[in-house]
Structure 1
Amino acid sequence: MAKRSTLFIRIVEAKNLPVKDITGSSDPYCIVRIDNEAIIRTATIWKTLSPFWGEEYNVHLPPSFHTVSFHVLDEDSLSRDDVIGKVSISKEALAAKPQGLDGWVNLTEIDPDEEVQGEIHLQVSVQGDGNVPRVLRCHVFEARDLAKKDRNGASDPFVRVRYNGKTHESAVIKKSCYPRWNESFEFELDEASADTPLTVEVWDWDLVSKNDFLGKVLFNINRLQSAQQEEGWFRLGPEKPKHSQYEGTLGSLRLQLRLRDETVLLSSHYQPLVELLCQSVGTHLNGNWPDLMMLIDETTTAESRQEVATNLVKLFLGQGLAKEFLDVLFKLELEKTSEPNTLFRSNSLASKSMESFLKVAGMQYLHRLLGPTINRIFEEKKYVELDPNKVELKEAGCAGLHRMQTEADVIQQSTTHLQSYLSELLHAIVQSATYCPIALCQAFQQLYQRVQERFPDKEYRKVKFIAVTSFLCLRFISPAIMSPKLFHLREKHADARTSRTLLLLAKAVQTIGNLDTLACCSKEPWMVPLQPAIQQGIGQLKDFITRLVSCEEGGDLGLQTRMSLQCGTMEKEGFLFLHRTKDKCMLMTSPFKKYYVTLSKDTLSYARTQHSKKSSFIALPKIRAVEKVEEKCFGSANVMQIISSEDSGQMETLYLDCKSVNELNQWLSALRKACSHNTETMSSYHPGVYKGDKWSCCHQKDKTDPGCDKTRHGVTLQEWYDPLDPDLESQLIYRHLLGVRQVMREKYQEMIKPEEGSDSTAGQEKLDGVTRFFKVLQDLQDAHSAVEAAERSQNKNFLLELQT
């Protein structure tokens, strides 16, 4: 059993942002933080006060997180980036709306007294009896992950303890966000002032300017007298927020957020449900089980359809039944469709499932297919425009021979550029028949055949091709061309010029996918110059589809000639700067060297070049922790460390310097997922380095000290190449089915109403089948209830122990 929290984040756009640059505009981007730890940075949108990002993320988190915040900043190349404002949303606010949050939220000013983080380890007790004055004692052990207030990337923290008008202060620990004090403070308990709280504050000491507030904890004396003692790690809280003079003037951010807290049971609990779902799409159907998939199709609402489709696709991929699952949905969709021109154009469960299937199983294929053309467009930055109403005329020619370009010149050059890009892309599509993943080929082959069976007349001979291109071109290739960052083809969004080129190319691909040049050119007559290239492309695309869907396994599309593009591999690779420590202190000079790093199924290897035969490696089962490193250690905020054990039992640390916070978190996430089944992981670590004779984070002199900060194994980003997680997918599907159980029951009763003269035996068989399905749901619900009851009992016993 495991508890998992998944936060879906979509950063849509912002509006009415303040001007931060002398140009009268801003260059905004957004940083997402979980409990003040940066995990995502959006792309910068240049020269705008109303940026559109449209970036989506799924973040897996431990259930103990508190807050998600969004900081909007203005990027500056010559100075520090300007802070525009932030939006903070608590876990409680997210949990209160299980359907999710979707809307505009005003940005607020960032108040230093609210920007607190970290925890403090305290023991607070009441001592004494009726014969002597009672004493309130506060023992301050240590703190961790405090906010960095000084330029050196650390703070100089001290503790101020206040009660009933009296104050005690601890020693100042210089240059540390992980201080250890181990000091005790006592106060005479005032029985008459039981409502007066004990306040423990942490401050950053400054010699010249005023001290900076780092956070506080309040203790209720009445509760403390009942419990006698409280000890543990306490989260530091902010001061009360002040009224902002900028309220309502910093613009607003449109967000879509949805938090899912899941208790994932053991695999054995989900096995009956998985078996039923597999039977519902199996090849040995007996006439009863297709009704289960029909019920899911009929009762899934538009709001949940995308999520349900993705979960089902992943579950059936894991069971090796993705083709059969999609085939059942194809048949259900075709039965409901009488007009072929509308086939798969709605956001039905079939359309959403095929779209999700392409993203889950075909992203590597998409990258190989589109990567060269997309990179060429970004690098060339050609001015491309076909619409006469949008053409910008500029001077052309060398010095002394300037002449103004005509509209015809611009359109002619643009047509040439677009034809070149389109020709390159179509050639890549045709060539991709040799490496298209087998799963995609089988799905398209099944779709093609089902449509051909449903619409066999000659007048509909194009429909089977359009069914394939509606997914391949309109829902997969074209969206990726228009927004390459959202499909991980580029790290940044395109500028305005490149974006227009991509849009025009995507329009051309959509027209080819529709297999109709006239419709496009009648709506947008300025696309006519591309008509010959589009007409040629239609022929090439139809030939490609014919080849794709007619071959048998073992032919030219057989497994022998395919790339191994299997869904769910955890491979990752790229150049990083590395430093390895082994029985030595940290070097004062820059110790990093460039290596090509490869994460495979079993090892993390690194070599000086991509194809070097000589390389070093770490076996993944030997990795004990994968965590961030403090910025002050190497002068970079994007350094991570991999702590692994050698055969001798000695620990070794490998440091990796990444180029951005996104790359850092992608590597952290990938390594944590690859090591998720490691049994000997560390629960604490040092975010600093051992330099000289002590740790830079907590100043401890023992190199084998267990660590001053807790590890964050549970924080990962969901990526398209993630391994399949059958138990989690089963849990997500179960939760959805439980929510629509009553609707499904009512729908099924309608479906099995016996018609006059019909055989009632068949209806009884169907009823028996659905009774089994609802029994499986009830068993899962009972299993969850038992787990929740055990947790409540455990928490109750803990509270009783605390009170005694």
Structure 2
Amino acid sequence: MAKRSSLYIRIVEGKNLPAKDITGSSDPYCIVKVDNEPILRTATVWKTLCPFWGEEYQVHLPPTFHAVAFYVMDEDALSRDDVIGKVCLTRDTLASHPKGFSGWTHLTEVDPDEEVQGEIHLRLEVRPGARACRLRCSVLEARDLAPKDRNGASDPFVRVRYKGRTQETSIVKKSCYPRWNETFEFELEEGATEVLCVETWDWDLVSRNDFLGKVVIDIQRLQVAQPEEGWFRLQPDQTKSRRHDEGNLGSLQLEVRLRDEMVLPSSCYQPLVQLLCHEVKLGMQGPGQLISLIEETTSTECRQDVATNLLKLFLGQGLAKDFLDLLFQLELSRTSETNTLFRSNSLASKSMESFLKVAGMQYLHGVLGPIINKVFEEKKYVELDPSKVEVKDVGCSGLHRPQTEAEVLEQSAQTLRAHLGALLSALSRSVRACPAVVRATFRQLFRRVRERFPGAQHENVPFIAVTSFLCLRFFSPAIMSPKLFHLRERHADARTSRTLLLLAKAVQNVGNMDTPASRAKEAWMEPLQPTVRQGVAQLKDFITKLVDIEEKDELDLQRTLSLQAPPVKEGPLFIHRTKGKGPLMSSSFKKLYFFLTTEALSFAKTPSSKCVNELNQWLSALRKVSINNTGLLGSYHPGIFRGDKWSCCHQKEKTGQGCDKTRSRVTLQEWNDPLDHDLEAQLIYRHLLGVEAMLWERHRELSRGAEAGTVPASPGEAPKDSLAQLLCVLQDLREAHSSSPAGSPPSEPNCLLELQT
């Protein structure tokens, strides 16, 4: 049994932030840290005191984490970014909110003495002496200290204090991983109750030294214990009086939910997985239609999570297409009006959304990426609604006179027609680029809809069914919010956002096959109608080719794809080479395009397609592919061996043990994550456990309607239908959880001796 912790984070918005720029505004963004390790950074929202981010993340992290902190920063182009304030949530706080922490919370001032990180390696023992016992404290090394200097490092030394006596180590220059190996002794009085304080400082020549953290040791407990040695987590200095600026720094709206899962061995989940897979293989001929029952008992709030878990489970079993086909049939069987088909938030719609993000994200980037980049680079003023045109924002025409409203509308229509035409042309050329499993799924959807609505009056219905997912639920959301689909690193400004919104509306009209209802909603979109009508013809031709795949071609494509290691992350990275010393000296950057799979890391000078990746996404991807590495080192050197020593810890031995611990467990959950079959099965089990009462009620209804004795009334009898089998499987899993050890996470070293002050 293994414990898995995950953190759902949604950074919604801020309000009433203080102005940090001379313009009376700020350029805020957020940084998220788990135990002082930065893991996330939102986009910057320019020139506002009430920013909206709306960014969501899922983080996998070790169960032993202590706190998650949200820092609101003000971005500056010419100087160091200003810290506006922070919100800190401890693990205990999150655990006390089973449904998650949600709401507004005030930002508090960031005290440098509380912003500590890293650990210190100490050896402590009490030795008998001639007159009194002596306390020996050996300060060995430290790791991952906070960088306090402009060179990205610190000049750390340690100050050891006991009963008014203070001793200090030597100073290690330019290192966050110093080694001292120095020992200090203090005379102990009988029955001493004092504490030993070990403080780490950054030495500065011209200004005051910076506090890096401290450890407080209980001497009384140490006297009754054996000699102790280990790594101690540095703690902030909370003895100083704080200034309370609550409310003066603004507020942050957050949604944070901690989820701990105890995952059983794979064998425990096999009955559940096999039962669900059997139901999917049987399709509509299944006796109990468990998938239909799961949809009936799933609330709207958690339907997306359930859909994603089921999809990933069947994707790992090679049954994603069969699972989606079953959902298509279920929805078609209860739909009589074609205009409502796949328009609700049903399990079919949510599962198909997840499927496209899992299987089609790289395809989306290839088609949309160049168009989105062009919109961002041009930054043209685009508006079609006459009631919203601001002529003063457009500028002058070629004759150096203000443009008229009619000219603005015509120029905007030309710009949008060009973008829409380029997008439709790129889509038309992308039939073979579409992943084989996506093509096969769309083909099955097209056939099922055509079988359900075969009449000539429903000729467009199969096409609209495909576009309802491809255009309305995949391409259009990506156009409106390119950062959320990793198409851009930053959110769009107001002008670019309006262009993207109008382009997304045009794509929706094309996806709706230019129906009168879609045209009537916004008559001012009429200037785009010629391009929309042409786009409908292009889109129908594209879908016809997409679903008209010979079985042999499809099998060849799937076989080719199966031979390739799936990409975990790809995109550009900058290789930095410093020409001179110091932060103000010139530097050169070399841009290379990297491609990471579960088997190799390769690079090239030019990419085959563009996408934007942040550094923390790369670190997360590298950690994911390293988690199952049996040869993973426990420690490493974050610096380089230059001259005769390591730059990080100044160690002389090139092959010596690393000075920093290997971090491989704090990762970001993304659509292209490696599948974790046991975790997905556990999440499905937990959901079914929550609706077990409804499943039993449904079972009793089926029993009353069946012949006497054909359906068991309790899990103790022999199951004769799939629902009864499911209830038995849930009972077995409940017993397996109750009989397995709790698997509590290991405690930190020497926590008995350390005082939390």
Normalising by the smaller structure, the TM-score range is 0.7 to 0.9
**Aligned partners of 2:565 and 2:597 also within 8 Å:** no
| Cα shift at 1:736 | 2.5
1:748-769 Cα distance to aligned partner (Å, 9 max, x none): 32344326xx575367886553
| Cα shift at 1:595 | 4.7
1:512-570 Cα distance to aligned partner (Å, 9 max, x none): 22234433443322112222322333343334334433544246x77469995999812
With over 3 angstroms needed to count, the CA separation of the structure-2 counterparts of 1:558 and 1:232, relative to structure 1, is: closer
| Partner residue of 2:671 out of 715, 720, 729 | 720
Residue 278 of structure 1: aligned partner: 277
For the residue of structure 2 that corresponds to 1:59, the secondary structure is: strand
1:709-734 Cα distance to aligned partner (Å, 9 max, x none): 10112233333333322223223222
Residue 602 of structure 2: aligned partner: 605
| Cα shift at 1:236 | 1.0
Residue 328 of structure 2: aligned partner: 330
**Aligned partners of 1:517 and 1:531 also within 8 Å:** no
Residue 777 in structure 1 maps to residue 726 in structure 2: no
Greater mean alpha carbon deviation, residues 448-457 or residues 417-426: 448-457
Aligned partner of 2:710: which letter? T
Greater mean alpha carbon deviation, residues 202-211 or residues 446-455: 446-455
1:336-358 Cα distance to aligned partner (Å, 9 max, x none): 44544333222222221111011
Greater mean alpha carbon deviation, residues 105-114 or residues 198-207: 198-207
Greater mean alpha carbon deviation, residues 62-71 or residues 483-492: 62-71
With over 3 angstroms needed to count, the CA separation of the structure-2 counterparts of 1:501 and 1:227, relative to structure 1, is: same
| Cα shift at 1:202 | 1.9
Distance in structure 2 (CA, Å) of the matches to 1:567 and 1:730: 26
Residue 693 of structure 1: aligned partner: 644
| Cα shift at 1:577 | 5.2
With over 3 angstroms needed to count, the CA separation of the structure-2 counterparts of 1:284 and 1:392, relative to structure 1, is: closer
Residue 544 in structure 1 maps to residue 495 in structure 2: no
1:195-253 Cα distance to aligned partner (Å, 9 max, x none): x4332222223343322221122233454344344432111111227433532122222
Residue 26 of structure 1: aligned partner: 26
Residue 4 in structure 1 maps to residue 4 in structure 2: yes
Residue 100 in structure 1 maps to residue 97 in structure 2: no
Residue 676 of structure 1: aligned partner: 627
Distance in structure 2 (CA, Å) of the matches to 1:494 and 1:600: 30
Greater mean alpha carbon deviation, residues 200-209 or residues 364-373: 200-209
| Cα shift at 1:66 | 2.2
Aligned partner of 1:749: which letter? R
With over 3 angstroms needed to count, the CA separation of the structure-2 counterparts of 1:429 and 1:46, relative to structure 1, is: same
Distance in structure 2 (CA, Å) of the matches to 1:397 and 1:340: 48
| Cα shift at 1:335 | 4.0
| Cα shift at 1:39 | 2.3
Residue 496 in structure 1 maps to residue 445 in structure 2: no
Greater mean alpha carbon deviation, residues 498-507 or residues 103-112: 103-112
Residue 180 in structure 1 maps to residue 133 in structure 2: no
**Aligned partners of 1:32 and 1:71 also within 8 Å:** yes
1:654-678 Cα distance to aligned partner (Å, 9 max, x none): xxxxx99x63333333333334332
| Cα shift at 1:610 | 6.2
Normalising by structure 2, what TM-score?
0.88
| Partner residue of 1:788 out of 736, 741, 748 | 741
> What are structure 1's unaligned runs of at least 5 residues?
581-587, 612-658
With over 3 angstroms needed to count, the CA separation of the structure-2 counterparts of 1:321 and 1:84, relative to structure 1, is: same
1:462-501 to 2 correspondences below 5 Å: 462-501=460-499
Residue 402 in structure 1 maps to residue 353 in structure 2: no
With over 3 angstroms needed to count, the CA separation of the structure-2 counterparts of 1:735 and 1:663, relative to structure 1, is: same
Aligned partner of 1:370: which letter? L
Residue 614 of structure 1: aligned partner: none
1:419-454 Cα distance to aligned partner (Å, 9 max, x none): 121122222233333332222223223333434444
Residue 214 of structure 2: aligned partner: 216
Distance in structure 2 (CA, Å) of the matches to 1:746 and 1:219: 58
How many residues are treated as equivalent by the alignment? Answer: 737
1:430-579 to 2 correspondences below 5 Å: 430-456=428-454, 460-554=458-552, 559=556, 564=561, 569-570=566-567, 572-576=569-573
Distance in structure 1 (CA, Å) of the matches to 2:438 and 2:2: 33
With over 3 angstroms needed to count, the CA separation of the structure-2 counterparts of 1:127 and 1:783, relative to structure 1, is: farther
For the residue of structure 1 that corresponds to 2:117, the secondary structure is: coil
Distance in structure 2 (CA, Å) of the matches to 1:537 and 1:405: 30
Residue 253 of structure 1: aligned partner: 252
Residue 388 of structure 2: aligned partner: 390
1:266-307 Cα distance to aligned partner (Å, 9 max, x none): 3323222211110121137763242x2223212222232212
Aligned-residue RMSD, C-alpha: 3.5
| Cα shift at 1:501 | 0.8
With over 3 angstroms needed to count, the CA separation of the structure-2 counterparts of 1:317 and 1:567, relative to structure 1, is: farther
1:485-512 Cα distance to aligned partner (Å, 9 max, x none): 1111122222222211110010111122
Greater mean alpha carbon deviation, residues 563-572 or residues 254-263: 563-572
Residue 739 of structure 1: aligned partner: 690
Residue 237 of structure 1: aligned partner: 235
Residue 582 of structure 2: aligned partner: none
Residue 417 in structure 1 maps to residue 415 in structure 2: yes
For the residue of structure 1 that corresponds to 2:49, the secondary structure is: coil
Distance in structure 2 (CA, Å) of the matches to 1:68 and 1:519: 48
**Aligned partners of 1:7 and 1:260 also within 8 Å:** yes
Distance in structure 2 (CA, Å) of the matches to 1:189 and 1:112: 33
Aligned partner of 1:779: which letter? D
1:38-80 Cα distance to aligned partner (Å, 9 max, x none): 2222222222222222222222223333222222222222222
For the residue of structure 2 that corresponds to 1:671, the secondary structure is: helix
**Aligned partners of 1:141 and 1:180 also within 8 Å:** yes
Residue 296 in structure 1 maps to residue 297 in structure 2: no
Greater mean alpha carbon deviation, residues 55-64 or residues 380-389: 55-64
With over 3 angstroms needed to count, the CA separation of the structure-2 counterparts of 1:462 and 1:38, relative to structure 1, is: same
Distance in structure 2 (CA, Å) of the matches to 1:725 and 1:510: 35
Residue 617 of structure 1: aligned partner: none
Aligned partner of 2:179: which letter? R
With over 3 angstroms needed to count, the CA separation of the structure-2 counterparts of 1:93 and 1:230, relative to structure 1, is: farther
| Cα shift at 1:683 | 0.6
| Cα shift at 1:699 | 1.9
| Partner residue of 2:341 out of 332, 340, 343 | 343
Distance in structure 2 (CA, Å) of the matches to 1:414 and 1:34: 46
**Aligned partners of 1:568 and 1:723 also within 8 Å:** no
